[in-house]
Amino acid sequence: MASGYLQFPAGFIWGVATSSHQNEGNNTNNDFWQWEQAGHTRDGTISGLACDWWHNAEADFDRAAALGLNTLRLSLEWSRLEPKEGYWDDTAFERYRQMLLALHERGLRPMVTLHHFTNPLWLAKQDGWLNPTVVDYFARYTAQVIERLGDLCSWWCTLNEPNVYLLMAYLAALWPPGYRSIQAFSQAARHQVLAHAAAVDVIKQHTPQAQVSFANHIAAFDPHRPWHLGDRIIAHLLDTIMNRWALDSLQGGCLRPPFGTGWEKLSMTAPPLDYLAVNYYGSHPQQFKFGGSVIGLIEQQVIHEERAWDTPWEMRETSPQGLYQLLLEMWERYQLPIYITENGFCEMGDEKRPAYIISHLAAVHRAIAAGVDVRGYYYWTLVDNYEWAEGWTTRFGLYHLDPETQKRTPRPSANLYREIVRQNGISEDLVKAYAPQLLGELFATGQLVTEEE
Ligand code: BGC
């Protein structure tokens, strides 16, 4: 019998997160597909069949159900639903109906994202998120989705990680359309916030009971040398722009450009956010360096870390403590229920993933004990999927995937996660079996942490 136990609240939501382009396969009609064909990915690979979800997502839904999960986060592919401007593809809507029904049949409540980084080619040709009309296009797309699929989902994320998307596509030129421009970044950022606001109104008009948010990527931007003014300034700047800019704009009802001055009032009838959707992977300690342009500086501070997924673990900064602190800050600032809509670790094998999962869930548990209203956790991801500019080099899955044969093999982390979900908590025995190095840290006091706490 275990002497220590980290118990999660009754009714805690356990899931995995995925996205259309990374999982479905053959999404030939979007801008990222085109980008891959042009050889822009690290290993030169293309998404190809990805996890073949367009034909058989159900087999992976079975896997998710067998893990005991009660929710799955997926996204809809705009380029499938509206392959030509103003033309709606009934067959694609029907396929998503099947998928959502299949989730419900398996006891997996869907959380659906409307935009996860990819754009239909027709939109990309019209300048994508730089074009002010994108706000209307997005609202129109949202209306179609809600009318046709709104009976099967009541939990929406409008956009996935506007901050990461804008950074990679408009500042770092690593994703399409490949810009390196502060002005383009700011313009597209404005349109993303306006698109979220418009989509929320559309969703609420049709289904007032729906819960809506957008998935916000957060990272711990701490000063590397806490006494150093430069490190502190750059850490604060990045924390403001990356972690809080979009949330503050929406919550405050007032849109300020991420760089520069001025503001405009947001006109929305519905509340901008019903919950906070938080994607967290790690920390980016900030060390100020002189010289270079603003873009160069931001790149140096954030992107090089982002692109270091396949470097050894020791060289990257993971920080469960950073997650704990950010949860406390987010709760204090916004007072909204929080779902961790992504958290995951990449490595081809599974040496460090179990400890990553345990230590991050322990941080979530600590935040809950400190009074933060965290209601659910989604591991990124179920089966290895196509990792954007990193191609197939970077693997986050609970299941290993061979993209050629489509064979899935569970990693030990799949068993670990299933056990955590079954226990609705983490027992000391589980830690002993999967990450004994964490025993002292998690159970030093032989604590018995119960639901009532
Ligand atoms: C994105 C996912 C991506 C994951 C791992 C998140 O920022 O939402 O699409 O696969 O990070 O890099």
- Tell me the CB-side half-sphere exposure of residue 402, using CA atoms within 13 A: 6
pLDDT of residue 262: 83
Cα of first residue to Cα of last residue in the chain, in angstroms, is 21
pLDDT of residue 84: 98
Q: Supply the residue whose CA is at minimum distance from atom 12 of ligand 1.
A: 387
Query: How remote is the CA of residue 174 from the centroid of ligand 1, in Å?
Result: 14
- Name 324's Cβ contacts closer than 8 Å, sequence gap at least 6: 363, 364, 366, 367
Q: Which atom of ligand 1 is nearest to the CA of 390?
A: 12
pLDDT of residue 256: 85
Cα–Cα distance measured from residue 107 to residue 68, given in angstroms and rounded to the nearest whole number: 9
Query: How remote is the CA of residue 291 from the centroid of ligand 1, in Å?
Result: 30
pLDDT in tens, the chain (453 residues): 446 899 999 999 999 999 999 999 999 999 999 999 999 998 899 999 999 999 999 999 999 999 999 999 999 999 999 999 999 999 999 999 999 999 999 999 999 999 999 999 999 999 999 999 999 999 999 999 999 999 999 999 999 999 999 999 999 899 999 999 999 999 999 999 999 999 999 999 999 999 999 999 999 888 888 999 988 998 898 899 999 999 999 999 999 888 878 889 998 899 999 999 999 999 888 878 766 666 776 766 665 544 444 444 333 578 999 999 999 999 999 999 999 999 999 999 999 999 999 999 999 999 999 999 999 999 999 999 999 999 998 899 999 999 999 999 999 999 999 999 999 999 999 999 999 999 999 997 544 455 444
pLDDT of residue 313: 39
Mutate to test the pocket of ligand 1, among 30, 111, 340, 380 (most ligand atoms within 8 A of CB): 380
Asked if omega into 381 is within 30° of 0 (cis), the reply is yes
Cα–Cα distance measured from residue 147 to residue 202, given in angstroms and rounded to the nearest whole number: 10
Q: Supply the residue whose CA is at minimum distance from atom 10 of ligand 1.
A: 387
Q: Supply the residue whose CA is at minimum distance from atom 9 of ligand 1.
A: 19
Query: How remote is the CA of residue 14 from the centroid of ligand 1, in Å?
Result: 18
- Residue 428 belongs to a domain with what CATH number? 3.20.20.80
Instruction: Single out the residue of 83, 117, 221, 103 nearest to residue 155, CA to CA.
Output: 103
Q: Which atom of ligand 1 is nearest to the CA of 344?
A: 5
Cα–Cα distance measured from residue 375 to residue 453, given in angstroms and rounded to the nearest whole number: 15
Cβ–Cβ < 8 Å for 266, 212: no
Cα–Cα distance measured from residue 348 to residue 345, given in angstroms and rounded to the nearest whole number: 10
Q: What's the pTM?
A: 0.95
Q: Give me the domain span that covers residue 383.
A: 2-452
Q: Which atom of ligand 1 is nearest to the CA of 381?
A: 10
For tokens 């094998």, what's the residue? 349
Query: How remote is the CA of residue 395 from the centroid of ligand 1, in Å?
Result: 11
- Name 418's Cβ contacts closer than 8 Å, sequence gap at least 6: 66, 67, 68
pLDDT of residue 290: 67
Ligand 1-lining residues (CB < 6 angstroms): 19, 22, 160-161, 164, 217, 279, 342, 380, 387, 396
DSSP lists the bridge partners of residue 14 as 377
The total number of structural domains that make up the chain: 1
pLDDT of residue 286: 80
User: For residue 320, how many other CB atoms are within 10 A of its CB?
Assistant: 24
Mutate to test the pocket of ligand 1, among 74, 166, 387 (most ligand atoms within 8 A of CB): 387
Cβ–Cβ < 8 Å for 400, 408: yes
Q: Supply the residue whose CA is at minimum distance from atom 5 of ligand 1.
A: 387
